[in-house]
Structures are given as C-alpha cells and as structure tokens.
Amino acid sequence: MLAKPGLLVLGLALGLSTLLPSEAEAHRRWLLPSSTVLAGESDLVTVDAAASNGLFLFDHRPMALDSLVITGPDGAPVDPTILGAGAYRSMFDVPLRAQGTYRIALVSDGVMGSYELNGERHRFRGSGDALPAGATNISSSRSNSRTETFVTLGAPTDTALQPTGSGLEMIPVTHPNDIVAGEPAVMCFLLDGQPAADLEVEFVAGGTRYRDEPGIVMLRTDAEGRVTLQPSEAGMYYLEVSSSQDAANGQPGRRASYTAVLEFLPL
C-alpha cells in the first residue's frame, strides 16, 4: 500500500524523526478527538493521531507528536499529556480548563533539497547552508504541513482560529464546532496568509469500512479560497488540501498540505 516506497526509503536513510508527510507518503493524516462539543467547568478530550487510508481506522502507522501545537481559547499554548504511541496510533489528552475553542494541530515546516557532488546526486534537509564545497545543481523546496482538529468547551470562540500566516491553513467562516449535517459550513483556505484560490479539496466521510463507495467529494476553492461543505449525514469527516509549486528561476519549490477532521453533528 505504500504509494511512494522510494521516498520512504529516502526518509529512513536520512534518519528523519518526523517525515514531511506530503513528501513521504500518501496516507491520510488525522487527529481524531473523543468529542468536539463539550460542557462544564472543565473537561478533557483524548485524541488519536494516525495515518491511514481508511477513515478513521488505525491500520497503518501512528503520527509523531513532536510537532503538536495546541492553541487555547485565549490564544496561548496548551500543554497536552502525551500518552504514547502504539503500533498504529499515538495518543494524547488535552485538558480544557478555559471556556472556548481549542485548535489542535500537528505543524511541520522544513526545507528539503538535493545537490550534485562528483557526479552523484545527494539529498539534504534544512537550510542548505552547510553543503559541502563543490556542490552543484542545488535545488530545494520548502514544505509545510498542518493536520488539525478543533474542540470547544462551552460557547465557540474565534481567538484560536486566527491565521498564523504560514503554510496552508483553513480559516473557518462557519465555526468548526458549530456545524451540523444539512447546513452549509463555509471554510476559507489561506496559503501563507493569502487566499488559496483554485485548490482541490478532498472531503471524505468517516466510516469507510462500512460502505462500498469511497465517499469522496472533490471541491475546489473559489477566488477567495472558500469552499462550502454540506454533508447530509452527521459524522466525523476528513478534509485534505495541498498545493505545490516546482522550483523555478532560482526560487525554491513550495509544497504545502493541510488536513483536518471535522465533526458534523445531527441537527
């Protein structure tokens, strides 16, 4: 099932602790929270982090959590309790001590490239400042990836949803914890803070094991970077967007990917 075994081997050869997923594999990457709409003085969500093809099945590999970033309702970081990783998933708890919306994300930002030395092609990771003397045909590309989900204790708030301006992001127009089956949910995509127009968005219902159809809806962002999601059935949904520009005219290439899990509640 490995779509790009060569690249995976490359990743292993480089000893990367966190593969840049958009380059390293084609599996869906997701954070699945135990609840998205919660109540009370305080509460907790437990989150599974995994990469797999089937949704939301633990059958491929866990996601590394070293790039976990949780933003609380006041915009400040929230410390998770990392529970560890099994063969197929990793797990963490997020304490919800303040009322409002939390943005839970795995974020990576890195540069990978290659160069030629003595007629052989070599690859590197990082800025490329420390390449050996005599390296030629240097090319590099910057890679961002973001895998997210959202949970809310009490009433939804927007502070944690503000764009970071880096990589591909989804800025909800409809609050991600105020979405129900049968009503339109509008999401806006930004690339480095600018509207990401004309990108393909893959939108998939969970529960792939229990149906024959892949259940994939392909959407395209409009000029403002917006798409409208409107599933008729309640459930957990997965969304994926990516953009890619090859290196040209001395400019490094650029790859960015974004995935999210959204829960559509029944009305």
Partner 1 sequence: MRVSIAFAFAATGLAAAPSAAQEMAISVEIPRLKVAEYHRPYVAVWIEDAAGKSVRTLDVWYDVDLKPEDGAKWLPDMRTWWRRAGRSMTMPANGVTAPTKAPGTHSRTYRQGSRPLANLPAGSYNLQVEAAREVGGRELVTVPFQWPPKALTSASARGKSELGAVRLTTKR
Residues at the interface with partner 1 (CB under 8 A)? 37-43, 152, 154-156, 178, 180, 265-267
**Cβ(22)–Cβ(32) below 8 Å:** no
73 versus 156: smaller Cβ distance to partner 1: 156
Q: 264: cis peptide before it, omega within 30°?
A: no
At closest approach, how far in Å is the CB of 154 from partner 1? Answer: 6
41 versus 212: smaller Cβ distance to partner 1: 41
At closest approach, how far in Å is the CB of 43 from partner 1? Answer: 6
Two tokens, residue 212: 């024959």
At closest approach, how far in Å is the CB of 202 from partner 1? Answer: 27
What is the Cα–Cα distance from 100 to 38, expressed in whole angstroms? 10
At closest approach, how far in Å is the CB of 112 from partner 1? Answer: 43
87 versus 267: smaller Cβ distance to partner 1: 267
109 versus 178: smaller Cβ distance to partner 1: 178
At closest approach, how far in Å is the CB of 98 from partner 1? Answer: 14
52 versus 152: smaller Cβ distance to partner 1: 152
Angle value at C-alpha 141, between 140 and 147, nearest 5 degrees: 150
54 versus 154: smaller Cβ distance to partner 1: 154
At closest approach, how far in Å is the CB of 265 from partner 1? Answer: 6
At closest approach, how far in Å is the CB of 186 from partner 1? Answer: 17
140 versus 157: smaller Cβ distance to partner 1: 157
**Cβ(255)–Cβ(143) below 8 Å:** yes
